[in-house]
Amino acid sequence: MRILVSAVALWFFSCLACSAQTILKSEPLMLAPYEVAFVKDASCPSGKVLKVTGAIRGLHRRKACVPMPGEQASLVAATP
């Protein structure tokens, strides 16, 4: 019974973590291939954030301005 309760609790907390996106103040230096980071900087218009997708070695990162609702995101500083 304890295993079932702990599994349900773990699932619940992992769902809470997945529902919010973290918005960084600066673009990270390193991103794993296909990892996505959202960056709030001056390169995108108001109400949009820069979506940066990591690439495999030898290719450039993909960058695009996408709308991001404020209630889904939290603003944090990037750690190098």
Torsion of CA 16, 34, 65, 20, to 10 degrees: 0
pLDDT at 15 (0 to 100) = 46
Q: Which residue has the higher pLDDT, 8 or 41?
A: 41
Mention every residue, 6+ apart, whose C-beta is less than 8 A from residue 22: 38, 73, 74, 76
Residues 53-68 have pLDDT tens digits of: 999 998 999 999 999 7
Report the pLDDT value the prediction gives residue 17, as an integer from 0 to 100.
Answer: 46
Q: What is the pLDDT of residue 68?
A: 75
Residue 14 has pLDDT above 70, yes or no: no
